[in-house]
Structure formats: C-alpha cells, structure tokens
Structure 1
Amino acid sequence: MSKRTSVAETVSKPKKKELEQLVVDFLTENKDKQFNYKQIAAALNIRGEEGRRVLVKALDRLRDYDVLLETSRGRYRLNNRGLILEGRFERRSNGKNFFVPDDDANIIYIPERNSKHAMNGDRVRVQLLAKRKRADTEGAVVEILERAQTRFVGVLEVQKYFAFLVMDSKFLANDIFIPTDELNGAGNGDKVLVEIVEWPEKANNPVGKVIDVLGKPGDNTTEMHAILAQYGLPYRYPGDVEKAAELIPEKIDEKEIALREDFRDVFTITIDPKDAKDFDDALSLRKISPTLWEVGVHIADVTHYVRQGDIIDKEAENRATSIYLVDRTIPMLPERLSNGLCSLRPKEDKLCFSVIFELNEYAEIKKSRIVRTVINSDSRLTYEEAQTVIETGKGDFSSEILVMNSLAQKLREKRFANGAINFERYEVKFNLDEKGKPLGVYFKESKEANHLIEEFMLLANRTVAEFIGKVPKGKHAKAFVYRIHDIPDSEKLDTLNAFILRFGHKIKTEGNKVEVAKSINSLLDKVQGRPEENLVETIAIRTMSKAVYSTKNVGHYGL
C-alpha cells in the first residue's frame, strides 16, 4: 500500500465517497484477509479521534451496502458479491447493456432493469450481483458519476399536447419526451438537437428540450450539421465571437510592416487542393548567389490577430482543431480570419511567421532563420496546375516551380536514404454536385507537386523543433509539444515478416534503423500492382508505432 497523507486532515463529509473508495481499494488489494478498523486506519494513514470516527462511519455504510462483510464484531473483509466498481457504461438499443471497469477487467452485463437510466459512455458506479448458474456476471448501476452525453439528434414528432424526439442514435432505445413549451419553434418533422434535462427514476422516457432546429431531413446542410451536433462538434460560431472577428481591421499598420522582413517583392506562391478556401502556407524563392537559393516557408501569423485569452482564442482552444468534412471545412477560427485576414490570397499583403533557408544546388542547407515577415503572393495554384508545370516544363512561373521541385526531390531522396519510410496510401475523394450530393468516387494520388509542399513543410517543422529543442548551457529546456513517432516493436516486425512470407516476401527485422527502413521500403515497392498490395501496406502500417504528441522528443521514425 503506497503511503498516503492523513485522511483525517483531508476527508470531510462531502468527501466521504473518496474515503469509501480508499477502503474498498485497500480491501481489494487484500481481498482474502480480514481487518479491524484500527488496522485499516493504520494502512490508510488515518490518525486522530476525528479521523477514526469518520472511518467507522464509512465502514458501517459499506457494510450496509453489502460491499463489506463484518465477519466478527469490528472485523471486515470485502464482499465479492457486493463489490462496487467504477467504469464506463455501454448501452445497446436492444437492452443488452454492459459495464467496462476502469481496470479493463471482464465486462459485466447490466440488465435494463438495473441500468438506472445510464446512457452510453456514462461513468458509473456498479455493484456486482450474485452470479447465477450458467449465466454471465451481472451488475446493477448504483450511481451515475458523470454523463457522457446529454444532447441527441433526431426527428421531431409533434402531437397535440406533447412531442417526442425519434433519435438517429442507436444507443438510446427510448424516445425523448418534450413538453410543447420546450419546442423552441421547431415543427413536426424537423431535424433538431435536443438536450435531456431529467430522467425520472420511474419514467420510461427521458425529458428534454429543443436546443436547435437543424432543418429538414435529407437537406445536405441539415445532415452535415446533424453529424457534427451528434458528436458534440461545433457547426456555428457564437455571435459574440463572429462580432469580435469583424472588428479586427483589415489594413495592416505600416509600423507593423516596418518590424518585419519584407518579402513582398520576392516570388511567392501557394499550392493547395482545388477546393481549398483557406491558404495558410506559401513558398517563396529567390537566387541570392550563383550557387545559393533562398527558399521561404511562410505560415499565416495568426498571433498578430488573436491574442492569448481573448474571446477568439478561447473559442479556438475549445474547438482545438479545424474539422474537414467531404464538402466543407469547419474552421477553428472564424471565417473572417481563416478565409480572409489569415488566408495568403494572391495580390494581398499578408503577415506571416516564416522559416527562411539558404540551400545550394544539392539541397544542402547552409543557413536558416526563423522570422516574422510580410509577403504578397504572386499566384494561387492547385496541385493539378503545379503538376502540369512540373510534367511539361511550361506555364506561368515554370522556371521557379521547377527549381523548387528539384530542391524538394533532393530533400526527399536524402530523407529516404536516412531511413524514412515511404507509406503512400491513396486518399478517397468525392465528386459532388452543387447541392453537395456525391456524383462519383475517385482516388487522389500523391504526385511531385504534393511532395514539393510536403518536403518544405517537413523541413520547416524539423527546423523549428530543433530550434526549440536546443538547450543553452545553464538553461532549462523549453516546454514544447512535439509530434513523435517511436521505433516499431520488434515482435510486431517479426509478426509482419511471418505474414508476408506467405506471399513470398521478406523484410529485415534486425539491424540499424536505416537498414530496417530500407527493407520495409523495398517491400512496399515490390507489392505495387500486386493483388496483396493493399493488404500488405495496411498490415505494415499497423506494425508501426502510433505517431503521438509529447513533450519528450524521441524523434520521428517514419520521417
């Protein structure tokens, strides 16, 4: 038992459940032993008369709940039949509900009659029940600790004196009852977002109120908003956030420009998907000597417009990311910023944070610097347009694009020579009509134009990570979040090798990183166009460690 601070000093009546859980944890660790209250107090580091009095009351309650057995006067042990566990409730519409304990032990069946109206994903406290012959272990929800979801999407059925929400969710079998004064302007047949406000213990249906009217079922925007609402994702911006964004001046102050490196006369382009509406990165190129090129990687400087702690920043923090759907983007920032002030549109002055590189003709980096800049993009190209220039050597800005592509290809060759892994998966894309209905499906292939942007973005990211990661002598490392990718597990590599042997392939599972990576790349090249291509690529990807975010920089194996 780990040493604990005195519970007498920290436990009060509002925290009695915390003490009860400590007692249960201790007796669970010693489930075949009996203890008196003095032994339990000593184990939990409870001192003083007040602390022991609180403990005795907790023991009495746990005994009354059948969690503990009082084997003799003042001596207790865990009652396995009445054991109370905490974990996650999983609801099924057919009433076959389950409880998953926090320790990931065997799941426990919860009959609907014992569910206490818990909903899918709720954190609950469950008491184990006596196991019947040839039956699964059963439990009963005794307390709902935290609701995972209280809002649901569905179609409204309005009757004379009340209404019901017929839900899209498969996790709640009971329709939600809605009083007519809680319809919020919704009508019969509308798709709406409803919040559950209560679920009386003896009622079959929860009671809710309409939060938002999404529209008519089948309408593309309605259905897209319904998907977002069902998963608790934002689909509209609060009015006060939109208003704050509108108040930001469009004109850039000359004093701000004077503080930055001026790249407005340097050749600069953006290359993005044809359906992109926000252009947040750009590349610039100029020759600075007979043997040196300067390449700038420019990222829109959002920090100039959004200040830490302001209303826009708080909304962005709440959203955490932009969301990309088939036919639209739900931006992390209001559209005035994401598609306007911070979009690097051509022929407009824009503020950026930039990494500037000096490279020779072999793509060897001679110098780099990280600076605030002002740019003015010469053109907005799609990947398809840039690819045509690369393949034909003709078109607007062909000489500059060909130089950047040549440098990018050399950077790419070096990455793979140093052990990067070439996982090239086709991305599924949809052709949509003007109403957002799908007309067809196609595979998006990554070509040189994609690699051009990819290589310089990777180079910029690596340079920033190296800059932040440097620790000056006598200083502490800066707190920073890195995207890391650990080395693959050797057992998983052995499993992959055993799997691909049936197709006549083999990889190197031992040796240094470069040797193993080259072996995997060779495998991926060999399966191209073969029947097993997709299967082998999928298994190979699953063999790799997952890329995660961490404050501990262990590098990125795949790159």
Structure 2
Amino acid sequence: MVRKKKKESRKLKKSVTFNKKKLKNAILSALYEEPGRVVNYRQISSWLGVKDTEGRHLINVVLEEMKDDEYLEQISRGRYRLKAKTGTVCGIVELQPQGFAYVNSDEMDRPVLVSSRNLKNAMDGDKVRLHLYARRKKHDLEGEVTEIVERAKTIFVGTVEMSRNFAFLVPAGKAGFDIFIAKENLNGAKDGQKAIAEITEWPPKARSPFGKIIEVLGDTGNNDAEMHSILAEFELPHKFPEKVDKVAEKIPFEIPEEEYKKRRDCRDVTTFTIDPADAKDFDDALSLRKLENNNWEVGVHIADVTHYVTPNSLMEAEAQSRATSVYLVDRVVPMLPERLSNGVCSLRPNEDKLCFSAIFELTNDARVVNEWFGKTVIHSDKRFAYEDAQEIIETGKGELSAEVLTLNELAKKLREQRFKNGAIAFERVEIKFNIDEDGKPLSVYFKEAKESNQLIEEFMLLANRKVAEFIGKPEGRKKPKTFVYRIHDRPDPDKLESFNSFIHRFGYGIELQSAKAISNSMNHLLTHVKGRKEQNVVETLAIRTMAKAEYSTRNIGHYGLAFDYYTHFTSPIRRYPDMMVHRLLEKYLEGGRSANEQKFEDLCRHSSDMESRAANAERASIKYKQVEFMQGHVGEEYPGVISGITDWGIYVELENKIEGMIPIRELDDDFYIFDEKNYALVGRHNHKKYQLGDDIPIKIWRTNLEKKQLDFRLGSNDKNVDKQV
C-alpha cells in the first residue's frame, strides 16, 4: 500500500516538471490514439492533467512549434489535428564513432537505432524519414532510412589525399566517408593540404560521394589554415566579401549635428566601459549619478548598431546570415566588419557615440522605481579592463572608484535577489592559452569570473529583463506585440532523476517537487561541491540536465535565470538577435504595429542554429589547441578524474582541464560491460569497476591533431582497478 502511494506521488512530480520535449511526446502519443481528432490547448491540458497557467501556456507554445515542424495541421485558430500518420517518423541523424547512428525524433520518446548499412548514405545532422521495425523486447527501437528529407550540409572541410589520377578529401569530424575528387576538380589543391569540398552527387551504389574542391585553405599544421578549417567545418565564414568591406569603409565616424538633437544627451554623466583586457568591440557602457532624492540613476548604454546597419542593406544581409561573432582560441571572427565592430559602433573612451539606452532609477537596496528606454548620445570617460575594476573593488582606490564601488554594491543586491527568486548559479571555468606568434600553445591557464565580471553581468541582465517585460507585459489586458525573447526551458525530468540517483553516491541530493525546489537545491549542491574532487563531474552532469537556451517569439521565460521575461538587448555588435530587439523596441516606442511573428520566428531559429555552430567551433578550436599542447607530453603520467563513460571508452580529465580517452580495447584484463544507468564500466569476471568521478592515473599515449583526439592508457599506478563493485 505504501509503495503504491510513493509511485503515484512520483508520477505527480513528473507532470509538474513538464518541459517542451516531454510535452511534444505526450501530445503526439495521445493524438496517435485518436488520429482524426481536432483538439485545442484546453483539451490537451485536461488529458495531461496540466492545471497551472504556466503549464497551459507551454502547451500553446508547443502546439505552435509542432505546427511549424509539420507534425500538426492547424484547422482553425487554436485548433489542431495530427498530420496523416504512417509507419514512418522524421528525425535528425546523430552519427556514432562506430558507424551506426541514433535518430532523434520528437515523435518518439527515445532515439531510434539505425545500423550503418541502413543509413542509405545519410550523414550526421541530416533530417531523415525512417521506417520503424517491430519492437523487440529489451532491445533498442530500430529502423531504416527511407528518405533523406534535408541534408544538414553538402560542404565539408578536410585533408586532400592524392592518388595518380584522382584524390579524396578526408573530412574532419565524424562524417563517416571520404569525398572522391576527380583530377579536373582539384582547383590547385595539393596532397596533404586543408581544403573545402562540395558534394556534387552521391550515386546510389557508390561508397563515396563525388565532389569538387571550392577553396584551398593552406598546409596542414599551419595555424591559420587549421583555424579556417575549423570555421569551415561548421560552415562559418572566415572573411567578409569584398563588397561588404567596401560598404563598411564608407560609414563615417563623425556624428551629424542633427542626430544630437534627436537624442537624449547623456554626455555630462560619468560613463565608463569594463571589458576583457584584449577586447576592441565595446558594446556596452555604464553611467551613474546620484539623484536629489538620494536614489541612483544607472544608465546601461548599448551601441546603436541599427543606426548604421539599415534594413535591406548589404551589411544587414551579412549580419543576418552570420547572426553572431565567433570566438576561437586565437581570434574573433566578427559579425560586423572591423570598421563597425571595433570603430564606428565601439564605445571607445573620449569619443561621442550613438547608443540605445536603458536608464533606471534605483533605490539603495537596488529596487527599480523608474525606467526609460530610448536613443542617446554618450561620451565614455574611461575604459577599464576587468582586472582594473577588480583592483578598485578589492582596494577601494583608483580613478572613478566611488562610481565603481557604488555600482558593485547595487549589483550584489541585484544578484542576491535573483538567486532568492530561484536563479541557478552555474559558473564554469574558462580555459585559456598563452600562444606564440605562430599560434603554438605555450601554456594553459583558467579564467574565473570575479566581482568585476558579476558587476557588468547584473546590469546587463537587468536591462535585458526590463526591456523584455516592457514589451512582453503590456499594461491592462493588451496583447503583447511580437518580440524576440531569450528562452530557457525547464530541465528534462528523466535526466534530473538519473542525475539525482547518481549524486546520491557522493552523499548529495536535489529536491524535485517544483521548479523553485529544483533550483534552490541545485544551488545548494553547486556551492557544497566547490573545491571537492567530484566538483567538475557533478557540475558537468548538472549542466547536461538543463535545456539549451534559444531565441523565440514565443515566450516561456528563462528557467536558469528565474526570469518570466528575458531578451538579448545588450550586445548588438556581436549578436543579430540584439539588432532585432533594437529594431522592434524602436518601432514600438514610436507606436508602431506588431511585427510579423512568423518572419521573426524564422530569424530566431536561424540565430539559435548559428549560435550553436559558433559554440561548436569554439569548442573545436580549444580541443585542437589542447591536443597540440599535449603533443610535447607523450609518455608522461598524470592524475586524472573520470569525466565520461561510454561503451567505447573512458573519458578522463586532467588537472589542467584537458580531456582524453582510454579506448575500451586498452582495458585488456577483462570483458567490460557498460552500465549506463550508473555511469560505469564493470568487468564481467573480476568485477573491477570504473565509474564517473573516480580518480584514475593515466599515461599520455598518442595525439591526433587531425581528429582533435587525445588517447590515454592506464597509468602504472592504477589504484582504481582494485575497487570492487
């Protein structure tokens, strides 16, 4: 009897933490049982037992997304029906190192396994249609590709391998094939060079696709060629078209006199920027003055990029296409040409600059009592590096110290309030390299956020939140106008439960009964785990339970920040969504009508996709430099911590945060079984156990720069192997 009650309460907990993915699966499962039925969000809410306003709003958002993704058709406003269901599903291919793939589909509650022979030349990231096989008990769901609906990419970067009359391009990453290049399609590429190839056709019975070289990047091992090839791997540009550069050069630095008259003049208020020491694109500045009523006026001033980049222009098309600046280990690939990003728009000291500003009146306890949004002109008095501002915070001395210290006190109160409301305190350490003039890494170091970083962060968060509330939460019963939000879905309840059961082995636990309970207990866990050997493993797994933040016109709030309304307003030099936000805010401040939602939703999806590509390119460049750095340490032994367990090997992270893998075939003392639930490999006969979070000594075995791969072997003093189950 008691056991049954427990089960029911766990079921209830799960329904409380529905996120978008879970809702999509639940809605599709319900509709498959009555395929012809027309439903609205009220009926779906009733079926799923969702009674809270937030949950019902999420159902509305999910129905809209499922219509966009063509799972549902809209019969009339707010009423939907399942599109004709066959024995097939659509999904995205996730190729595995061994050659088979998993296909992830919103129509299924688990990935579908597809063997390499049933992939029908589908590549990683392709959208495919699958025929599902009958389910076998205790086996993965399996299927075969019947149609490639949409290729993720047709352009690949890799290394040229020459034969006498033809060549192959061996792609970087996990393509799973080489591209055949006829001699006449080499475009001057030589053996061993990095190049970009385009697939022109893939005949049904051919083992390799046919292609042509469209750009030669340079010699393998050359730093520029390698960084350009990482950008090309994720289909990111490494230079601006000549026409765009020419347009940029014509944009004047001088501000016309009539422009000053149209704007609020903030030049007499103390204003400064705080940025990384090596930054050149300063998109934000802060100003501070004390008001007669003893409150504080804080200005968050953002570069007015959209004044210079106008709709339907060549520059606009380029910014929209790129959608973001890309930050590699040794360079920034900007969204806007240098003249704009580092010059005309950059809020450099001792220059008048055009801004779009959010100006707040705050009490001494950081409560906002007034706000104003609009176009301004500013004059920055000082450019601080984070280190300079940090020194003022720590010593209380330095230029503009009164302003910096006051803003820091207000920021601390804003931060405290944010965490009280349920924000989650994820603070990952950034890996940085000291590199020589040829791009070779000389040493590795870590960068941690200090109070000066948090000062800037809190005021940027405040501006982003207040701008989103201003549009998304109109007075009275008015319907909000179309806007661009930065949204963050709730965590996946299944991932949270398995994370919770894993951290129990370290004596930790999180509460799962409500969104606030999850965030509060997660913060307690992250604080408690600091400085312990399991810190990195626990933090990494905690982040994996979270959804990815993305852009959308359909607001569901930002879970990680605990904000009901949030947007990106503060970095238009490096992010296209911020440019969209500036345009919409300007339009609505002037009384304009609501913009076309579908147009902006499509741009949001594109921006989220480009952000993901940029993040992958950044990770790839870090991985490349890590492997390059470790080339000088082959044969050396280091202590490590198991950071990942898979059925093909053990991932181990060293003290310098560099990660490599011990291949499963190197564990030759037993046959090891992958225990997915407990993140462990267990020996069948001797019961030796390798588990996530365990200490493990390793020896650097081999490095493969081409694949950005670092392989380890067990160190000579592997105490872990004595550990019994």
- TM superposition score category, shorter chain reference: 0.7 to 0.9
CA contact (8 A) 2:129 2:147 kept: yes
User: Larger relative contact order (C-alpha < 8 A, sep ≥ 6)?
Assistant: 2
Cα shift at 1:327: 1.5
When structure 1 is superposed on structure 2, of 483-492 and 359-368 the one drifting more is: 483-492
Coordinate RMSD, CA, aligned: 3.6
CA contact (8 A) 1:260 1:374 kept: yes
Counterpart of 1:293, as a letter, is W
Q: Per the alignment, do residues 189 and 518 of structure 1 end up closer, same or farther by CA in structure 2, a change over 3 Å counting?
A: closer
Count of residues paired in the alignment: 479
CA contact (8 A) 2:170 2:177 kept: no
CA contact (8 A) 2:114 2:144 kept: no
Equivalent residue in structure 1 for 2:437, among 404, 424, 434: 434
Corresponding residue for residue 397 of structure 1: 400
Deviation string 1:21-56 (CA, Å, 9 cap, x unpaired) is xxxxxxxxxxxxxxxxxxxxxxx99xxxxxxxxxxx
Cα shift at 1:160: 5.7
CA contact (8 A) 2:159 2:171 kept: yes
Cα shift at 1:380: 1.6
1:107 counterpart SS class: strand
Q: Is residue 215 of structure 2 the alignment partner of residue 179 of structure 1? A: no
Equivalent residue in structure 2 for 1:247, among 227, 247, 250: 250
1:289 counterpart SS class: coil
Q: Is residue 390 of structure 2 the alignment partner of residue 387 of structure 1? A: yes
Equivalent residue in structure 1 for 2:422, among 408, 419, 424: 419
When structure 1 is superposed on structure 2, of 446-455 and 501-510 the one drifting more is: 501-510
CA contact (8 A) 1:110 1:139 kept: no
Deviation string 1:481-500 (CA, Å, 9 cap, x unpaired) is 22234555777666655544
Cα shift at 1:124: 4.9
Corresponding residue for residue 115 of structure 2: 109
CA contact (8 A) 2:181 2:213 kept: no
Equivalent residue in structure 1 for 2:365, among 346, 359, 362: 362
Q: Per the alignment, do residues 358 and 136 of structure 1 end up closer, same or farther by CA in structure 2, a change over 3 Å counting?
A: closer
Cα shift at 1:184: 2.8
In 1, the alpha carbon distance for the partners of 2:103 and 2:548 equals 28
Q: Is residue 566 of structure 2 the alignment partner of residue 549 of structure 1? A: no
- The equivalences for 1:61-460 within 5 A come to 103-104=107-108, 106-111=112-117, 117-124=121-128, 144-158=148-162, 161-180=165-184, 182-201=185-204, 203-289=206-292, 291-460=294-463
Counterpart of 1:209, as a letter, is K
CA contact (8 A) 2:165 2:182 kept: no
Q: Per the alignment, do residues 353 and 434 of structure 1 end up closer, same or farther by CA in structure 2, a change over 3 Å counting?
A: same
Q: Is residue 470 of structure 2 the alignment partner of residue 464 of structure 1? A: no
Corresponding residue for residue 23 of structure 2: none
In 2, the alpha carbon distance for the partners of 1:491 and 1:150 equals 35
CA contact (8 A) 2:124 2:174 kept: no
When structure 1 is superposed on structure 2, of 471-480 and 254-263 the one drifting more is: 471-480
Q: Per the alignment, do residues 2 and 428 of structure 1 end up closer, same or farther by CA in structure 2, a change over 3 Å counting?
A: same
Corresponding residue for residue 56 of structure 1: none
Q: Is residue 524 of structure 2 the alignment partner of residue 530 of structure 1? A: no
Deviation string 1:126-167 (CA, Å, 9 cap, x unpaired) is 678999xxx999987665443332222223345665443343
When structure 1 is superposed on structure 2, of 151-160 and 359-368 the one drifting more is: 151-160
CA contact (8 A) 1:268 1:377 kept: yes
Corresponding residue for residue 72 of structure 2: none
Deviation string 1:238-261 (CA, Å, 9 cap, x unpaired) is 222222222222211111111111
In 2, the alpha carbon distance for the partners of 1:212 and 1:343 equals 33
Cα shift at 1:223: 0.4
Q: Per the alignment, do residues 118 and 260 of structure 1 end up closer, same or farther by CA in structure 2, a change over 3 Å counting?
A: same
In 1, the alpha carbon distance for the partners of 2:521 and 2:103 equals 44
CA contact (8 A) 1:337 1:343 kept: yes
Q: Per the alignment, do residues 129 and 174 of structure 1 end up closer, same or farther by CA in structure 2, a change over 3 Å counting?
A: farther
Counterpart of 1:425, as a letter, is R
In 2, the alpha carbon distance for the partners of 1:227 and 1:390 equals 39
Q: Per the alignment, do residues 511 and 211 of structure 1 end up closer, same or farther by CA in structure 2, a change over 3 Å counting?
A: closer
Share of identical aligned residues, percent? 57
Q: Per the alignment, do residues 196 and 536 of structure 1 end up closer, same or farther by CA in structure 2, a change over 3 Å counting?
A: closer
Cα shift at 1:225: 0.7
Deviation string 1:411-470 (CA, Å, 9 cap, x unpaired) is 222223333332332222222222222222222111110111011111111111111123
Normalised TM-score (structure 1): 0.75
Normalised TM-score (structure 2): 0.59
Counterpart of 1:147, as a letter, is R
